[in-house]
A and B are shown apart, each in its own frame.
Chain A
């Protein structure tokens, strides 16, 4: 890290003005200035303190699947303005342009350490990865495909919750995804849920907390209600570490906290116990 520190702060400021993307980024946890390229190489984990930055769905997929094994499904599903909600579609279009994504989740088939699985990766950069009809539908289709093909399903969650602009239809995506998981579970097939920063609201209250195994990235926020709402409702001081992965591990929601660099091997190890792919022929 030492070499990066030699850049002066004013230099950094000017660079930021010139390039909106920025060559440098400040770690919100330790305040260290990090070289973007080095950060990307380190799976967007602070090389100084281990803080896990938000990662794009593409980077996430690359970091966990066997190289070249990912085949996306339902890439073209697009949101519609079912409620006539003012400004909604403009917002969606703006995020599509900004992120290059159609929606807040990417789904598909892949292998992880040679075990096949259906994947759904939420991308927090897209409208806070809020769940509307398309997000719910894509996740449901991935689960249903996993059930039909007798494969595992793995969902990486990150979400601000249900998408207000689709009203009740967003709420019902909780029912839809959970229903698909009910059938998947009844077929005795595995589901691994990975919680990343932040997993909140309707996503937490549906598929995210229904995993046979629930993994969380270090220090990620996991909760139903936002901490401010909790504070305002209860007029109480929040306990230290409230709604963090570590707090939820302590309170029994989370099986394991897994660093990003270990995610692929952890998923591989779990899949080998939970699916036939790791089983050697009985003698």
Chain B
């Protein structure tokens, strides 16, 4: 199944026309067809550039949710070696919306945790659409403590619409699971790099988002509330989500300006879903660089900087 976003439709249409021309040209080459193909290739490149370099926040939100976008385990496969997945919070169960384990990232041994979405019904049943339960956050902390114990840096990959708003999640104190991570991550004596790779949905994202470096993929978003949720409250209708996305300043660019995000990880033209390998290479390099920057900092300095980073967030008079 190929998901075509509304604003990509003119591009896809042109691509199909180009394919048709190429097919004709391959069957029976003529000079006229060759010129037409070349012309259309130029037009396609121009159109792609025009559309993809002027993305509005809502379009980026759509890209961040694209079904073909690389998910956490795709990035682990493409960026890491020797991934050893570890399961369970040791109390209630294992949360498949939040895989975690040891991995080797560009030669560095790390602990990696993140949200994992699914691409079809079966996968989403397993991954709960990337919405973790308390067990996910508690497993994440358990493994991050292992990282501290064995002096491995931590990489978190954030991609969730939000923590799961379910009965069991509330009964098992999902809010406390998130809060406890915020508190504990602030003092973990090992470098932490967090990357919003897709959706940075509110507290569910922040629950693994306390870090020394917070990076964002170019088309990811990070927000206190979903654009739809914001629209429902302010405009009384979800169809105003594009305006809400604009108002919330949730794009990587805006969040860099607000001092929330330390770096933007470039994606291939049109978004990571067009080219997983290029997106992964970009992520791999950015995280490796961040880890290299942090690895020689004395721990007390690292923790002071981490504290001050979040301490300084907020604007007031």
Task: Give A contacts to B, CB under 8 Å.
Answer: 77-80, 82-86, 132-134, 136-137, 140, 162-164, 166-176, 178-183, 185-186, 201-202, 204-210, 223-226, 229-230, 233-234, 236, 238-239, 242-243, 248, 251-253
Q: Could you tell me the distance between the alpha carbons of A194 and B189 in the complex, rounded to whole angstroms? A: 30
Q: Are B169 and A179 in contact (CB under 8 A)?
A: no
Residues of A contacting B71 with CB < 8 Å? none
Q: Which of A82, A140, A207, A253 contacts B258 (CB 8 A)?
A: A82
Indicate whether A178 sits within 8 Å of B258 (C-beta atoms), given known contacts A168-B223, A168-B249, A209-B175.
Answer: no
Report the interface size class on chain B.
35 or more
Nearest CB on B from A191, distance (A): 10
Kindly identify, within residues 239 to 292 of chain B, every residue whose CB is under 8 Å from any CB belonging to chain A: 247-250, 255, 258, 260
Nearest CB on B from A186, distance (A): 6
Q: Are B183 and A202 in contact (CB under 8 A)?
A: no
Q: Are B315 and A133 in contact (CB under 8 A)?
A: yes
Q: Could you tell me the distance between the alpha carbons of A163 and B248 in the complex, rounded to whole angstroms? A: 11
Q: With CB as the reference atom, state the residue of chain B lying closest to A201.
A: B203
Q: Could you tell me the distance between the alpha carbons of A82 and B260 in the complex, rounded to whole angstroms? A: 13
Q: Are A210 and B183 in contact (CB under 8 A)?
A: yes
Q: Are A230 and B314 in contact (CB under 8 A)?
A: no
Q: Could you tell me the distance between the alpha carbons of A252 and B169 in the complex, rounded to whole angstroms? A: 13
Q: Could you tell me the distance between the alpha carbons of A168 and B202 in the complex, rounded to whole angstroms? A: 8
Q: Are B224 and A179 in contact (CB under 8 A)?
A: no
Q: Could you tell me the distance between the alpha carbons of A225 and B225 in the complex, rounded to whole angstroms? A: 12
Q: Are B222 and A182 in contact (CB under 8 A)?
A: no
Interface of A is mostly: helix
Kindly identify, within residues 145 to 197 of chain B, every residue whose CB is under 8 Å from any CB belonging to chain A: 163-167, 169-176, 178-180, 182-184, 186-187
Q: Are A209 and B173 in contact (CB under 8 A)?
A: yes
Q: Are A175 and B310 in contact (CB under 8 A)?
A: yes
Q: With CB as the reference atom, state the residue of chain B lying closest to A248.
A: B173
Q: Could you tell me the distance between the alpha carbons of A173 and B315 in the complex, rounded to whole angstroms? A: 11
Indicate whether A133 sits within 8 Å of B173 (C-beta atoms), given known contacts A202-B224, A205-B179.
Answer: no
Q: Are A178 and B183 in contact (CB under 8 A)?
A: yes
Residues of A contacting B163 with CB < 8 Å? 205, 224
Indicate whether A224 sits within 8 Å of B174 (C-beta atoms), given known contacts A174-B182, A178-B183, A229-B165.
Answer: yes
Q: Are A179 and B311 in contact (CB under 8 A)?
A: yes
Q: Which of A84, A175, A176, A248 has the most CB of B within 10 A?
A: A175
Indicate whether A164 sits within 8 Å of B186 (C-beta atoms), given known contacts A80-B316, A171-B202, A251-B171.
Answer: no
Q: Which of B172, B179, B310 contacts A209 (CB 8 A)?
A: B179
Q: Are B184 and A253 in contact (CB under 8 A)?
A: no
Residues of B contacting A137 with CB < 8 Å? 314, 316
Q: With CB as the reference atom, state the residue of chain B lying closest to A183.
A: B307
Q: Are B310 and A172 in contact (CB under 8 A)?
A: yes
Task: Give B contacts to A, CB under 8 Å.
Answer: 163-167, 169-176, 178-180, 182-184, 186-187, 202-203, 206-207, 209-210, 222-225, 230, 233-234, 247-250, 255, 258, 260, 307, 310-311, 313-317
Q: Could you tell me the distance between the alpha carbons of A190 and B315 in the complex, rounded to whole angstroms? A: 28
Residues of A contacting B260 with CB < 8 Å? 168-169, 172
Q: Could you tell me the distance between the alpha carbons of A234 and B166 in the complex, rounded to whole angstroms? A: 6
Q: Could you tell me the distance between the alpha carbons of A80 and B258 in the complex, rounded to whole angstroms? A: 14
Residues of A contacting B179 with CB < 8 Å? 174, 178, 204-210
Q: Are B307 and A77 in contact (CB under 8 A)?
A: no
Q: Are B172 and A230 in contact (CB under 8 A)?
A: no
Q: Which of B255, B258, B313 has the most CB of A within 10 A?
A: B313
Q: Could you tell me the distance between the alpha carbons of A14 and B10 in the complex, rounded to whole angstroms? A: 64
Nearest CB on A from B252, distance (A): 11
Q: Which of B178, B183, B202, B315 contacts A82 (CB 8 A)?
A: B315
Residues of B contacting A132 with CB < 8 Å? 314
Indicate whether A167 sits within 8 Å of B316 (C-beta atoms), given known contacts A175-B310, A179-B186, A239-B167.
Answer: no
Residues of A contacting B187 with CB < 8 Å? 182-183, 186
Q: Which of B178, B179, B203 has the most CB of A within 10 A?
A: B179
Q: Could you tell me the distance between the alpha carbons of A137 and B311 in the complex, rounded to whole angstroms? A: 8
Q: Are B206 and A175 in contact (CB under 8 A)?
A: yes
